A and B are shown apart, each in its own frame.
Chain A
Amino acid sequence: MSSFMKASIGRKFFMSLTGLFLIIFLFVHLTLNLLLTFDDSGVLFNEAAHFMATNPIIKIMEPILALGFIIHIIWSGWITLENMKARPKGYQAGDNLLKWYAPAKNMFILGGMVLIFLIIHLFNFYVKMRFTGDPLLNQPGPGLEDGVHNSYALVANLFIHYPVYDIIYILGGILVGLHISHGFWSAFQTIGLNNSKWMIRLKFLAHLVAFLIGAGFAYIPLYFLIKF
């Protein structure tokens, strides 16, 4: 198996599986986050956040998710480095077949920008919710029982009072959408689940998934920006 880990297709196999896994995570994450926009009192979102923080299945999935991210990120660096080494000298006239902004050509850059966003995002919410705490989390709110944090207050405060974060989060949604518009069908191609018929279907699905995730995540800060 070690030869498989080192082989070009083996490396990409892990990229594909972790990528698809992260897309599933994003759908779960988005579904819960959209509750922010359904109930301005915050009751719905706080309940959901409490459920996610205490559910044993989620507890088990948390380190697996972290591992998924780590493999996807480290492998991307490894693959990109190997790929760059394959062409020691580039073309003077450039590479004009695909547009410079095509997501397929910029997966590492897009991924890198998503990673920067992810770090900002973790410090905005996850670190506060899980480790450092925040006065806003203990702010009294409607329907809050003992031990249930006011996660809604933390999120709403950021989006209402710091428009710059709204922009960052909208941008984050767009970037992850662009990344997925190539990544989704590319993952199926790499694990061999593609042919000339499914190529068109998978590319369509990739754009649909990318739009749903990208627009879905961008909608939340936009909602707060416009409504409040």
Chain B
Amino acid sequence: MADKILKKIYVKVWRQNNPSEKGRFETYEVENVSQGSSFLEMIDILNDQLIREGKDPIAFDHDCREGICGMCSMYINGHAHGPDSEITTCQLHMRRFEDGETITVEPWRAGAFPVIKDLIVDRTAFDKIQQAGGYVSVNTGGVPDGNTIPISQVDAEEAMDAAACIGCGACVATCKNSSAMLFVAAKVSQFAKLPQGKVEAKRRAKAMVAKMDELGFGGCTNTGACELACPKNISISHIARLNREYLKAKFSD
């Protein structure tokens, strides 16, 4: 069956030329959008229209468009990555919207994620947190035979679940406190469950939390909104592990 065509939709989008400008919402009409097109394709169509009209196209982050790179970052109708769960914006399709609907598109809002232009925010804060301790610096030798490392299946799976984090920032965007705890928890957790990561566990937890606080992210109040918004379905039980790792490290000082 052919995809339905949305005759006309209204896209109310945040426009901001540079970080220091105040910014404003502008509403654009887009006609004849196939419900089979992705949300980003709809923005592409809109941008094409804007370019033809001699206007500045909407700047937005995107890269792989297959849900794994973590670049796309739109806050659509009050939901990070749009109304569907466990997907990134690029995996969202126009079939989730009705004809004549006004779709509000905003950038991630957080003090630590300043707007660069329109819908693009600066997420280097995540890189800084990662650089503060999200790595293994001890010598783990060459590639060992998989069977010689004693890791239980459960631990390996849990570490992998945490490592699924693509650092898109939906957790920060959704959290009412703009807290980066789910991100930091995932990054700490993926190491905490594995023998290679345990060597530097204390330093890692302390350094990453300190960096997170320094960069102006809020604190976690356990609302659980982050795990609902997370395209990779990362559980807040990792936050409990981060708290545990951090407190263990602090109390042993």
B78 near A83 with CB under 8 A, answer no
* Partner-contacting stretch, out of B46-54, B105-113, B131-139: B105-113
Q: Is the interface of B mostly helix, strand, loop or mixed?
A: mixed
B5 within 8 A of A: no
Q: If the complex has contacts A83-B179, A83-B221, are A194 and B237 also in contact, measured as CB distance less than 8 A?
A: yes
Q: If the complex has contacts A85-B216, A86-B111, A194-B240, are A92 and B222 also in contact, measured as CB distance less than 8 A?
A: no
Q: If the complex has contacts A96-B77, A105-B176, are A7 and B213 also in contact, measured as CB distance less than 8 A?
A: yes
A199 to B111, CA, bound (A): 30
Task: Tell me how many residue pairs across A and B have CB atoms closer than 8 Å.
Answer: 137
B239 near A97 with CB under 8 A, answer no
A82 near B237 with CB under 8 A, answer no
B147 within 8 A of A: no
In chain A, what residue has the closest Cβ to B25?
A92
Report the interface size for chain B: residues with CB under 8 A from the other chain.
Answer: 47
B218 within 8 A of A: yes
A49 to B84, CA, bound (A): 56
In chain B, what residue has the closest Cβ to A13?
B247
B241 near A4 with CB under 8 A, answer no
- Proximity bits, A65-90, B CB within 8 Å = 1, else 0: 00000000000000100111111111
Which of B112, B177, B228, B250 interacts with A97 by CB under 8 Å? B228
Q: Which residues of the partner chain A approach B176 to less than 8 Å between Cβ atoms?
A: 83, 87, 95, 105
Q: If the complex has contacts A96-B77, A192-B240, are A87 and B218 also in contact, measured as CB distance less than 8 A?
A: yes
In chain B, what residue has the closest Cβ to A3?
B210
* Partner-contacting stretch, out of A140-148, A168-176, A182-190, A218-226: A182-190
A101 within 8 A of B: no
B8 within 8 A of A: no
Which of B218, B229, B243, B244 interacts with A86 by CB under 8 Å? B218
A82 near B219 with CB under 8 A, answer yes
A90 to B242, CA, bound (A): 27
CB distance from B162 to the nearest CB of A (A): 12
Q: Which residues of the partner chain A approach B229 to less than 8 Å between Cβ atoms?
A: 97
In chain A, what residue has the closest Cβ to B161?
A196
Q: Which residues of the partner chain B approach A89 to less than 8 Å between Cβ atoms?
A: 109
Residues of A within 8 A of B (CB): 3-4, 6-13, 79, 82-98, 102, 104-105, 107, 182, 185-186, 188-196, 199
Please name the 9 residue pairs, one residue from A and one from B, whose CB atoms are nearest each other, closest first. Answer: A192-B244, A86-B218, A96-B78, A83-B177, A194-B240, A8-B219, A93-B78, A83-B218, A86-B178
Can you list 24 A-B contacts with CB-CB less than 8 angstroms, sorted by A residue number? A4-B250, A7-B210, A8-B209, A8-B218, A8-B219, A9-B209, A82-B218, A83-B177, A85-B216, A86-B216, A91-B78, A97-B228, A98-B225, A107-B221, A186-B222, A189-B239, A189-B240, A189-B243, A190-B222, A191-B247, A192-B241, A192-B244, A192-B245, A196-B235
